[in-house]
Amino acid sequence: MVNSQIVLSVEKISKIYESAESNVHALKNICFQLRKGEMLAIMGTSGSGKSTLLNILGALDQPSSGKIKLNGIDSNDIFDEPRATDYRRENIGFIFQNFNLLKDLSVAENITLPLILQKYNSKEIEQKVNEMIELMGLTKWKNHRPVELSGGQQQRVAIGRAIITTPPIILADELTGNLDFNTSTEVLKVLVDMKKQFTQSILLVTHDPLVATYADRVLFFHDGQIIDEYHCSGTGDIEEIMGKFQNILGKKSV
């Protein structure tokens, strides 16, 4: 359930990439709010600033102007180290298109990493990791390395790793980009279940209207701006989302 509590408030975020030849205005005064337990999808044309936004929200990059409020508190110092690392560790779980698992570690070891970084004791770690592996349906694969798993299984490991410390915000960039239809559906259902169980807020970037139907709300990006919004409350109409997306794709040539 989407809660009325605002977890993240994005206030007039702009990003200009400067270079000797030209400046790219990747984000222009972006404003929106993410509520507790909300799944927010971002769709948009290539180069519209989606990954730039995720990088800023994850404190992997700094905005040129604007601010982020976390639970109502100004969080501008999150962009400076060492605060940025603490902010990421305490608040953000990342899920990537290419899974980004450590290839020499087992499934259990990959899922364990965030708990070690947050200094959980070994008893807590063992219990939490076993629970997560079971939740993700990975018991059989616990001691296997990522290369021995299918794409969907690897993405479930990545989801387990992202949520094991129950960070309030999950950021996902094209999490189904390397998965087929059935596997995408399976991974999305896992994510929605996890969101319900832990009341996390999820912001996911996607090109896929099917993925967006699982969201509570979709923001459409074009040329660094939010140009449309769609409320679907987890049962979005794929035709309607596709229509809006096509409309934005059409603007590409303008």
Ligand X SMILES: Nc1ncnc2c1ncn2[C@@H]1O[C@H](COP(=O)(O)OP(=O)(O)OP(=O)(O)O)[C@@H](O)[C@H]1O
The listed partner (ligand X, Mg ion, none) that binds 48, CB under 5 to 8 Å by sort, is: ligand X
Applying CB under 5 A, which part among 8-16, 47-55, 112-120, 164-172 lies near Mg ion?
47-55
Please give the Cα distance from 72 to 62 (Å, whole number).
Answer: 20
- β-strand pairing of 6-17 with 39-44: unpaired
CB of 51 to Mg ion, least distance (A): 3
- Residue 52 binds what, of ligand X, Mg ion, none (CB under 5 to 8 Å, by partner type)? ligand X
**CB contact at 8 A, 38 and 169:** no
Question: Any contact of residue 97 with Mg ion (CB under 5 A)?
Answer: no
Alpha-helix residue ranges (DSSP H) falling in the chain: 50-57, 83-91, 107-117, 122-135, 151-163, 181-198, 209-213, 238-251
62 binds Mg ion (CB under 5 A): no
Q: Which of residues 158-217 bind Mg ion (CB under 5 A)?
A: none
For position 46 contacting ligand X by CB under 6 A, the verdict is yes
Phi, psi of 212, deg, nearest 5: -65, -25
Choose the binding region for ligand X from 39-47, 123-131, 179-187, 237-245 (rule: CB under 6 A). Answer: 39-47
User: Among Mg ion, ligand X, none, what binds residue 66 when CB lies within 5 to 8 Å by partner kind?
Assistant: none
The least CB distance from residue 168 to ligand X, in Å, is 23
Q: Is 217 among the residues that bind ligand X (CB under 6 A)? A: no
CB 41 within 8 A of CB 206: yes
Answer for the pair 238, 210: CB distance below 8 angstroms, yes or no.
yes
CB 12 to ligand X: min, Å: 17
Q: Which residue of 11, 24, 28, 51 would you call a contact of Mg ion, by CB under 5 A?
A: 51
Of these, 47, 151, 177, 234, which contacts ligand X (CB under 6 A)? 47
Dist CA 247 CA 235 (whole Å): 21
Contact 168, 36 (CB under 8 A): yes
The footprint of ligand X on residues 3-22 (CB under 6 A) is 17
Task: State residue 62 phi and psi, 5-degree precision.
Answer: -105, 145
Does residue 209 touch ligand X according to CB under 6 A? no
Strand order in the sheet with 6-17: 24-35, 6-17, 65-70, 73-74
Count residues contacting Mg ion (CB under 5 A)? 1
Encoded one letter per residue, x for contact with ligand X by CB under 6 A and - for no contact, window 49-78 reads: xxxx--------------------------
CB 28 within 8 A of CB 78: no
Residues near ligand X (CB under 6 A) are 17, 24, 26, 44, 46-52
